[in-house]
Structure 1
Amino acid sequence: MSTITVNPVGKTFDTHEGEAILDAALRSGIMLKHGCRDGRCGDCRTLVETPISEGAVTYPAGLALAETDQAGTTVLCCQAVAHQDLALNAPEVTELEGISIQKLVSRVLLKDQVSSDVIVLKLMLAPGSDFPYLPGQYIDITLPNGVTRSYSMASRQLQENAIELHIRLKPDGTGTPFIFNELGLRKMVTVEGPFGSFYLRDSDAPMVLLASGTGFAPIKAIMEQLIAEGNERPVRLYWGGRSAEDLYMSTLCEDWAERLPWFDYIPVVSDTMDGWVGRTGFVHQAVVADLNDLSAHEVYACGAPIVIESARRDFVGQCGLSSANFYSDAFV
């Protein structure tokens, strides 16, 4: 067992033998930053206050580590197993105060097919359930067939005691075909969460929101938060898809643009076969074309990994965005 101290808040938690640091933190009610939880996204990489010695932290064999992980100046918390006491520098813990992981039973309240391959699914929690989360976070749902999948929540808070999810069909999968074809109203689904560190930071910087496909779900939740809080800073939403049908809530975005003086909406499609007359191409390239200086901006991006990584590369490399101001949630 090792004791992990989280600074600057000074919280501590203990790890069990063989337990990853992130798992131990979440079990203890401490919300360290994280994303995919399987070592691919790197969002849980955290500074160690005193560089650690060789062997003090171990990782699964074959895992690709950053140079800082290998040097012992950072730890990839979702995969790192500590063999000695450590002190982490994790100021984001204060922003996630009051958020803890829960596992709850829910029932299907609504299935609304909003395009040929996207449904809006609402899962109603038991009466009296308290499920606090930050707009932008995600949950794991376990289906009656035993399959577990992760989806971002698409509203800033529970509505009718229900969680809203946007789900795209993957015909060759084991999760979404069941949801589309077999999961009926009132069927029970297990919900666990909230997870993730994709949430709105306290700032006055102008914002770019970037979504591809159902990556719009957490962006919608963040927009609802901005509206509820009386936001005034400039916000631009770039939403990309293969076709116009992929922008399944475009009318909602158009309504925001009409009534919110601080908000602009730029839809982008890559396939013009359906007669699309708006912006075309890759959605992140539309941002580069419009905003060649992002040095004063924050970017919140959600969607396919290739979209997120291309956006990160070009916004930082070509447009001067600080890498610290690029917040993302990739569907890994």
Structure 2
Amino acid sequence: MSHQVALSFEDGVTRFVTCAEDQTVADASYRARINIPLDCRDGACGTCKAFCESGEYDGGTYIDDALSDAEAEEGFVLPCSMRPRSDLVLQIASTSAVAKTQAASYTGEVTRLDRLSPTTVALSLKIPDRDKLTFLPGQYVNIAVPGTDQTRSYSFSSAPGEDELSFLVKITPGGLMSDHLTGVAAVGDSVTFTGPLGSFFLRETARPALLLAGGTGLAPILAILRKLRDDAIERPIHLIYGVSTDDDLVELDAIEELAAQLPGLTWDYCVSDPGSSAPNKGYVMSLIQPEHLHEGDAAVYLCGPRRWSSRCVSTSPTPA
């Protein structure tokens, strides 16, 4: 039996390798020509030490100088010794350049271009080699703006298992991608992107989750919810979605549909414009209630405008 192992590098690049249960993660990585840090190959030096964010594994044999019992208890592992027992996500203590790898590039076709509101466009693509693209819900890609040498970053709003790839794009007057999508782009156009990228993604855990989405930061949150739906997860989840104006509100029907499919999902939304017709006026943080935090045992995912600084936050300690 084989498992997918996500190697998350310090520069935001994520590469996926297929690893058999009788194979070490290091061997699988090198067979895929991804040179993660490695020296001894037998658990003696600790050069390859990584942190396992999620998944089950057999840690293998190694000496204490390479990995202490305390480190192993925290979730640190040695890829040269460990063997997967499920899909894994590993934090690799180096950049993709050091590992002599890079994010992959794909070329696809625009299948849908929907103006969801005056300020938001939904972009959908299909790529011929879809089986080669693996990503974690919450990650993003850099999409090339046709006719320029520029790229723009957009998070997947689709689940990793869907054939069609979807994104939410905030329309900014004068913006390169905004002007292209609203004035030039059409279904059937060719689009190139590079990825997946980013360390904002769903962690596998049974803990309750609080999801906070601002503006088109809703996209990666939708990807997370769709993945939870596809996996039939029933953990308690509360979503709070906030925007600046009524024009920015999108995908409410999609959220309602997900709430019907996910037994543990509750949600609310707000608009900061005082003149809004929304039932809640104000900011996302004003809607957080003590019960949403589950006495500090909730995994918190926050994604929104740059001033929010898009990131994933967990209330439990994680390695620096």
TM range (shorter): 0.5 to 0.7
Cα deviation, residue 156, structure 1: 0.8
Cα deviation, residue 170, structure 1: 1.2
Residues 102-133 of structure 1, C-alpha deviations (whole Å, 9 max, x = no match): 11111211101110111111122125652111
In structure 1, the residue matched to 2:94 is: none
1:225 correspondence with 2:227: yes
In structure 2, the residue matched to 1:152 is: 155
Q: Counterpart of 2:307 in 1: which secondary structure? A: helix
**2-structure distance, mates of 1:197, 1:309:** 10
Which of 156, 176, 179 is the equivalent residue of 1:177? 179
In structure 2, the residue matched to 1:207 is: 209
Preserved CA contact (<8 Å) 1:32 1:90: no
Residues 146-169 of structure 1, C-alpha deviations (whole Å, 9 max, x = no match): 22111001111364x431111011
Residues 155-208 of structure 1, C-alpha deviations (whole Å, 9 max, x = no match): 11364x431111011113222212221122222111111111222112111100
Which of 131, 140, 143 is the equivalent residue of 1:141? 143
TM-score (norm 2): 0.66
**2-structure distance, mates of 1:309, 1:189:** 25
Residues 41-94 of structure 1, C-alpha deviations (whole Å, 9 max, x = no match): xxxxxxxxxxxxxxxxxxxxxxxxxxxxxxxxxxxxxxxxxxxx9665443494
Deviates more, 1:208-217 or 1:117-126: 117-126
Letter in 1 for 2:52: P
Q: Counterpart of 2:296 in 1: which secondary structure? A: coil
**2-structure distance, mates of 1:170, 1:36:** 27
**1-structure distance, mates of 2:165, 2:204:** 24
Q: Counterpart of 1:139 in 2: which secondary structure? A: strand
In structure 2, the residue matched to 1:32 is: 9
Aligned Cα root-mean-square deviation (Å): 3.3
Give the alignment of 1:13-162 within 5 angstroms. Answer: 30-35=7-12, 89-92=50-53, 94-95=88-89, 101-126=103-128, 130-146=132-148, 147-157=150-160, 159=162, 161-162=163-164
Between the two proteins, what is the percent identity of the paired residues? 27
**2-structure distance, mates of 1:128, 1:308:** 30
Preserved CA contact (<8 Å) 2:137 2:202: yes
Give 5+ residue unaligned stretches, structure 1: 1-10, 12-28, 38-84, 326-332
**2-structure distance, mates of 1:299, 1:152:** 18
**1-structure distance, mates of 2:296, 2:264:** 19
TM-score (norm 1): 0.64
**2-structure distance, mates of 1:129, 1:258:** 29
**2-structure distance, mates of 1:292, 1:230:** 22
Cα deviation, residue 281, structure 1: 1.1
Give 5+ residue unaligned stretches, structure 2: 15-45, 54-78, 80-87, 92-100
1:307 correspondence with 2:268: no
The change in CA–CA distance for 1:128 and 1:215 in structure 2 (over 3 A counts) is closer
Give the alignment of 1:184-195 within 5 angstroms. Answer: 184-195=186-197
**2-structure distance, mates of 1:131, 1:36:** 13
**1-structure distance, mates of 2:50, 2:262:** 38
**2-structure distance, mates of 1:228, 1:310:** 23
**1-structure distance, mates of 2:293, 2:159:** 31
**2-structure distance, mates of 1:178, 1:300:** 31
The change in CA–CA distance for 1:185 and 1:259 in structure 2 (over 3 A counts) is closer
Deviates more, 1:174-183 or 1:103-112: 174-183
